[in-house]
Amino acid sequence: MNTYMILFGFTDQGIRDIKESPARVEAAKEMVRSMGGEMKDFYGILGHPHYDTIFIFDAPDEEAVAKAVLAIAAGGNVRTESHRLFSEDEYRKVISDLP
């Protein structure tokens, strides 16, 4: 499995319903599990102009990530940005394979 990070920024709707955020986090964790992934970490972000929370999770492939991200964003509470993360070992392998 690969590791991914999703940055979440609350929409106006999401911030109005902020008290529902913990339940939405649990629903997102279940979404990740249902696509064969595993949630590794969740963080709230202080001071970023666009993003409010981060999920870090493992997933089997990009298609599974896309499905989860679209399903989460479809609720209208967040905007998302997704990234593939590389462990230190993976990063070293990429660098060692450079010409």
Model's pTM, two decimal places?
0.88
| pLDDT for residue 96 | 96
| pLDDT for residue 24 | 94
Going from the N-terminus, what domains does the chain have, and what CATH number goes with each?
2-96 (3.30.70.1060)
Q: Which of 38, 44, 35, 21 is CA-nearest to residue 69?
A: 35
4-62 pLDDT per residue, tens: 999 999 999 999 999 999 999 999 999 999 999 999 999 999 999 999 999 999 999 99
